[in-house]
Homo-oligomer: A and B are copies of this chain.
Amino acid sequence: MEPGDSTKQARAAAQLRKGVLEYCVLALMRDRPRYGVELLHALEDSGALATSQGTVYPLLSRLRRDDLVTTTWQESASGPPRRYYALTDSGRAALDEFARVWPGFRNTVDSFLTTPHPSTGDLA
């Protein structure tokens, strides 16, 4: 698709997703229950977090296994029934915890990228 940068950019982005995806999925469920493909599309629309079904469904299984979400089947007007995922109290707590940790993490990475790291020898 994008010529040239597809490989390297994909590599960097792929590594980045690790761990963050879980909490972004939880964040998507914050306001209302969502179903698998809906989450997939929301991630795809975000651009930087686009992923595949092979990533999302195992992730959702883990969230259910760890009691971070509960699921309910629901009929669809057209198409097969959908499994809707909703946050549990534990899930909401995990999301809050992540929201608390994220800013510090984000700023740390920012500083690593921007700050010219002087020298460690001076102060020691």
Would you call A94 an interface residue if the criterion is a C-beta within 8 Å of the partner chain's C-beta atoms?
Answer: yes
A residues within 8 Å of B by Cβ?
Answer: 5, 8-9, 12-20, 22-24, 27-28, 30-32, 38, 41-42, 46-49, 93-94, 97-102, 104-106, 108-113, 116-120
Q: How far, in Å, is A75 (CB) from chain B's closest CB?
A: 15
Copies of the chain in the assembly: 2
Whether B18 lies near A113 (C-beta < 8 A) is: no
Cβ contacts A to B, 21 pairs, < 8 Å: A8-B93, A8-B97, A9-B101, A12-B23, A12-B101, A13-B101, A16-B101, A18-B19, A20-B109, A24-B109, A24-B113, A27-B112, A28-B117, A31-B117, A31-B118, A32-B119, A41-B120, A48-B101, A48-B105, A98-B113, A102-B113
Known pairs A15-B19, A18-B19, A110-B106; A8 contacts B48 (CB<8 A) = no
